[in-house]
Amino acid sequence: MAQPVCPWWLGYVLASPIRRLLQDPEKILMPYVKPNMVALDIGSAMGFFTLPLARMTSHGGRVIAVDLQEKMIASLRRRAEKAGLSAQIETRQCSETQLGIEDLAGQVDFALIFAVLHEMPDIPATLASVYRALKAGGMLLMAEPTGHVDGPQFEETIAAAQACGFTVGASPKIRRSHARVLTKPHP
């Protein structure tokens, strides 16, 4: 069952440089993100991962940042502009039931769903939408906070991902998180 959506004002805490002491986005993303990739950040909030993704994909890549809350997206746009990354970042506001990424079918190299999947009302539908957006061989890094999602719940989410067609890979160590790398197999 979905939990309440994180209030927009908490986005300032989530984007704080102090958070990097617990979860360094560059370290977390480095094994998966390369220059010129198309990356998808689901639940981007104010851009804690979006801005590093844009830097890591460099000028040939792009990042599509999706969030439910307009205030989060507006803040992300301001932060991207200030960082000189707005040309690489496309923002989209999703609805409670649709991510609004149908036009990305087979175009995404890397997707990130970090600490937000448990807020989604239909986790299998969300995972299926991300699966469709990924290229063959594309990866999804999924992480959920241990304070909101217990081990059995996370394993249910992994099973839902497998039902969509994902293959299960590594379990990266991310502080205070359950995490898994999932891949869309080649046909």
**DSSP code string of 114-139:** ES-GGG-S-HHHHHHHHHHHEEEEEE
Print the domain residue range for 73: 24-183
> What phi and psi values does residue 127 have, to the nearest 5 degrees?
-65, -40
What's the CATH code of the domain at 128? 3.40.50.150
CA–CA distance, 168 with 185 (Å, rounded to integer): 10
Per-residue pLDDT of the chain (187 residues; tens, 9 = 90+): 455 666 555 555 565 666 566 779 999 999 999 999 999 999 998 899 999 999 999 879 999 999 999 999 999 999 999 999 999 999 999 998 999 999 999 999 999 999 999 989 999 999 999 999 999 999 999 999 999 899 999 999 999 999 999 999 999 999 999 999 999 999 8
The verdict on pTM exceeding 0.85 is yes
Assess if residue 16 is contained within a domain: no
Question: What's the domain count of the chain?
Answer: 1
Q: Is residue 98 part of a domain?
A: yes
CA distances from 16 to 12, 79, 144, 176 (A): 6, 12, 19, 17
